[in-house]
Structure 1
Amino acid sequence: MGHRLQIRKQGSRMRLRAYLLLANGVSIGIILLSLFVCYRYMLLNGPETMLLVSVTLGAAAVSFIVHFALTQRLEKSLQRLTEETEHIAKGHFDGMAPVIGPAEFRRLAERFNEMSIKLSDSFKRIRSSEASRRELVANVSHDLRTPLASVQSFVEALQDDIVQDKETFQRYLRTIRHETQRLSRLIDDLFELSQLHAGARVWTPEPCHSDSLIVDVLHSHELQLEEKRLDVHVRVPDDLPPLHAMPYELKRVLSNLLQNAVRHSPAGSRIELEANLLPDQRYVRITIDDEGEGVAREERELIFERLYRSDRSRTRASGGSGLGLAIAKSIVQLHGGDIGVEPRQGGGSRFWFTVMTASEANQYDSQI
């Protein structure tokens, strides 16, 4: 089948070239016939007629040879373009079609190369997404298996009446409750992340203030901050403009980043939250500094991917699902902002994200 397809393609190239040469031959034949008729009615003598006929035939031969040479270059351009098409059909995107031949074929080769580059980028993203999906399934399976195995073992112990004293019985029940809560949080995080990636969230922004968002999030994490005796400092300018955002979603971003800071901060250390207007007056930048172990340079982009962990055993032991930063990134991107992490001066990490101001959003809407 492959040989027949290749022969058919070669035949198509030959037919194209033969068609062009035939068209040239027909046009030359019509010209010669017209000239011969004209020579006949000019009442020329024999030598003069033979001379004109010889010159005409010579010019026709030269024209045919030039046309033959030009069509050979055209055929070469088509052949190279066909070869690159076959490479792409086999999944190879590293080749480039040569930009040669007439202007139309040069433009065709340029567009073909642009298409090849875009296809290569698309397939790279697909492969990366597929690898991420496999890793996500593997990590979620591990995260689900661990609490399920724990719950199963404790339930079997209670069913078999192994536990007799009331204190141990209550401790087992607390452990079962804790593990089921971990499962519930993981399932909620997966559901939320799938909604964000599918674009199922309805965009309903409203003006909101950074200081109120930060205060609300700190109140909801007051118990965790007290347990680790963390010293929290907040700096928000009084004249900071309101944000153009969905308050609940931004609270989720702040909560995820604060949980990450609390999880990796040593007991008795310091956490700083700050909000500032960027020099372009369009975005507000919110930062959360901690005095933890910091994030390695090669991991500063990866930690925002789904279920990526710089230290998997430590993160699982501390109860993190590995989805918090990925959810924060998706929410910030939904708001049209950026998110990242950088080393903090003196040690630790500085997580930051940007949100558009309400005035900038109103100006953008009025321009539309």
Structure 2
Amino acid sequence: MKLRSYLLLANTISIAFIIILLLVFYRYMLLNREQFIWLTLATVGAGVVSALLHFLLVRPLETSVRRIGEGAGRIAAGDLQARVEHTGLTEFKKLAEQFNLMSTSLDESFRQVKAAESAQRELVANMAHDLRTPLASVQSYVEALEDGVIQDEETFRRYLATIRSETVRLGELIHDLFELSTLGAAKREPEELKPAVVEDVLVELLPRFTKPIDSKSLQLRVKLPDRPLRLRMQPRHLQRILQNLLENAVRYSPQGGLIFIEAEEMKEEPGRVIRFTVSDEGEGVPMEERERIFERFYRSDRSRSREGGGAGLGLSIAKLLVEQYDGQIGIMPSGLLQGSTFWFTVHEAVEGAGEGQVTKATLKEEASL
């Protein structure tokens, strides 16, 4: 039943009830004939006026309800851009406003779902590409060895070294994928945090880069504050962030280039924030790519080559780790002659100096690689 018919029916029932009461009063001599006629006419007249008022006042209500219903129908049909005008009574204006907010929220959610689906398809495609390439290389070299086409010892060993390097590459990619998938679900409990001592982390990390740095004749310099730095971050996470940024810097640094690592206090930031920077003298990252450089599997064209290496996961992992500890990460032009500078911030631990710290002399010895 429509709203108008429902209200008219209620009005008719009320008028009929009043007339029945008048008949009862007239029968038991509570009203004379003239009073009964006048009261009956007054009741009927009031009913007619009431019906007209119902007809006039219900029309805007019907219009508002119909407008909201049409909007809901458009959304049900897939038009998430449907909106309702803010007209009519105050209650219907509020209802239209809430309806539009719901429509906007649904539209945004649908966009996010589509973006997630697109990102998932891209992720699967990139994973397939990055897994297929080393697998195809391993397969071709193994088939060559199985067919006995390699006769000299030097070529045989070179094939084995290539197979080993490709399997290591596969293992690193699978490890990065696993870590990337677990970072989003990991929950950090503050009371379980072991503060990271920057000197300890660097002394353990830098020797791993001795071979790649020597192979390109790179210079590595480290600059830290005079006092020990203890950060509100697990040591292994700080080490992983710096490792990923250093790997990126070493990969794109030219022969004989300089890599510069610096940690400094940000006095303008409340809460004792430490800012790390890793600078290189490579080609640099184009301005249009800086917004996407931290996306999963995103790589510039120059890193798609075999020499460029990398699966495009290192910076994504670094970003997730930094944000897990309420920090920030980004990229800017290098302060050196050319190249890029990656930076991230970490909050400093405020309690105790802790144990296991190393001297500046030890760190400088490792930094002279």
**Match for 1:280 among 251, 257, 269?**
269
Given the alignment, which residue of 43, 49, 64 partners 1:62? 49
**Alignment pair present for 1:352 and 2:343:** yes
Post-superposition CA distance 1:253-302 (Å, at most 9, x none): 11111111111122222222222233223232211122222222222121
SS of the aligned residue for 2:88 comes to coil
C-alpha contact 2:25 2:31 (8 A) present in aligned 1: no
Runs of 4 or more consecutive aligned structure 1 residues displaced over 6 Å after TM superposition: 35-42, 200-203
User: Does residue 253 in structure 1 map to residue 241 in structure 2?
Assistant: yes
Amino acid at match of 1:356: H
Deviation sequence 1:62-115 (CA, Å, 0-9, x none): 222222222222222222222222222233221222233333333332222222
How high is the sequence identity, in percent, across the aligned residues?
49
The answer to whether the 8 Å contact 1:195/1:201 transfers is no
Q: Which residue of 1 aligns with 2:77?
A: 90
How far apart are 1:157 and its partner, in Å? 1.2
CA contact 2:22–2:36 (8 Å) conserved in 1: no
Matched, 1:190 2:177: yes
In 1, distance between residues paired with 2:151 and 2:119?
Answer: 46
Match for residue 264 of structure 1? Answer: 252
User: What residue is the counterpart of 2:284 in the other structure?
Assistant: 294
Q: Which residue of the partner structure matches residue 364 of structure 1?
A: none
Gaps of 5+ in 2: 352-369
CA distance in 2, matches of 1:202, 1:147: 38
Give the partner amino acid of 1:268: G
Cα distance in 2 for partners of 1:116, 1:240 equals 53
C-alpha separation between the residues in 1 aligned to 2:219 and 2:115?
Answer: 40
Of 101, 106, 111 in structure 2, the residue corresponding to residue 119 of structure 1 is: 106
Q: Which amino acid aligns with 2:178?
A: F
Question: Following TM superposition, by how much is the alpha carbon of 1:202 offset from its aligned partner in structure 2, in angstroms?
Answer: 7.1
What SS does structure 1 have at the residue aligned with 2:262?
A: strand
- The Cα shift of 1:34 comes to 5.5
SS at 2:232 equivalent: strand
Q: Contact between 1:332 and 1:353, CA under 8 Å: does it hold in 2?
A: yes
1:159-193: CA deviations, max 9, x gaps?
11111111111111101111111111111111111
Could you say if the C-alpha distance between residues 37 and 259 of structure 1 is closer, same or farther in structure 2, counting changes exceeding 3 Å?
same
Q: Which of 20, 36, 39 is matched with 2:7 structurally?
A: 20
- Decide which structure has greater helix share: 1
Residue 139 (structure 2) pairs with residue 152 (structure 1): yes
Q: Secondary structure at the match of 1:302?
A: coil
Q: Is the 8 A contact 2:199 2:229 kept in 1?
A: no
Equivalences, count: 346
Q: TM-score scaled by structure 2?
A: 0.83
Structure 1 residues 34, 134: closer, same or farther in 2, change over 3 A?
same
Distance 1:39 1:185, change over 3 A: same
- Retained in 1: the 8 A contact 2:303–2:309? no
Asked if residue 219 in structure 1 is aligned to residue 204 in structure 2, the reply is no
Distance 1:43 1:187, change over 3 A: closer
Per the TM alignment, residue 26 of structure 1 is displaced from its structure 2 partner at its CA by 2.8
Whole-Å separation in 1 of the counterparts to 2:317 and 2:126? 16
Asked whether the equivalents of residues 26 and 33 of structure 2 are also in contact (C-alpha less than 8 Å), the reply is: no
1:99 aligns with 2:89: no
Which whole-Å CA distance do the structure 2 matches of 1:241 and 1:104 have between them?
A: 59
Q: Distance in 1 between matches of 2:203 and 2:18?
A: 92
Is residue 240–residue 276 contact of structure 1 (8 Å, CA) maintained in 2? no
Partner of 1:343: 333
Give, in whole Å, the separation in 2 of the partners of 1:337 and 1:50.
86
Distance 1:285 1:89, change over 3 A: farther
8 Å contact from structure 1 (residues 36, 53) kept in 2: no
Aligned position for 1:162: 149
